[in-house]
Amino acid sequence: MFHLASFIGILLMSFKDSRNAAMNSIVILILLSMIPKVIPHENCKSEKLRELILETVGLYPHQYSYQAKYMKKQAEERFGNWWSAVIISDRGGYGMSAVYDQYRNTSCEMQLFDTYYWLGRTC
């Protein structure tokens, strides 16, 4: 995948030869279009929930049904009952448990590349 270090390296290389202004402009436009993939969307107040999501993604890559079941089970074992997980991929993959979050401070949502993850308390 595309990393921030690659972004900076390509940007610096494009300005090495300032005679090619058109190429520099094209490279900058391409790189700017990739920034949303470099900087993930995240609204997660709990470090433990964030770690659980990342752990799950590592155990079951691209297996959204297994990820949702694992996250729900682990959250309930670690933090008590009434947890739900929702996973939605840009490619159409989907996994979830019933969701009706009433407590905003007990949920975690993250966008990792092309997949949205939500894990939260549902009571």
Where are the domains positioned within the chain?
Answer: 4-38, 42-121
How far apart CA 32 and CA 34 sit, in angstroms, is 5
Higher pLDDT pick, 7 / 45: 45
Tell me what pLDDT residue 90 has. 80
Tell me what pLDDT residue 59 has. 92
Contact, 71 vs 85, CB < 8 A?
Answer: yes
* Average pLDDT of every residue of the chain: 72
| Token code pair at residue 81 | 């009952």
Tell me what pLDDT residue 70 has. 93
Higher pLDDT pick, 13 / 101: 13
Tell me what pLDDT residue 27 has. 63
Q: How far is CA 15 from CA 3, 7, 19, 23, 93, in A?
A: 19, 13, 9, 9, 40
Q: Which pTM was predicted?
A: 0.58
Tell me what pLDDT residue 93 has. 63
Question: Tell me: the pLDDT tens digits for 44-98?
Answer: 778 888 899 999 999 998 888 899 899 989 998 988 888 888 888 887 766 665 5
Tokens 């007990």 appear where?
106
How far apart CA 42 and CA 27 sit, in angstroms, is 27
> What is the CATH code for 42-121?
3.30.740.10
CB atoms within 10 A of CB 46: 15
Strand partners for 44? 108
Q: Categorize the per-residue pLDDT at 38 as very low, low, confident or very high, splitting at 50, 70 and 90.
A: very low
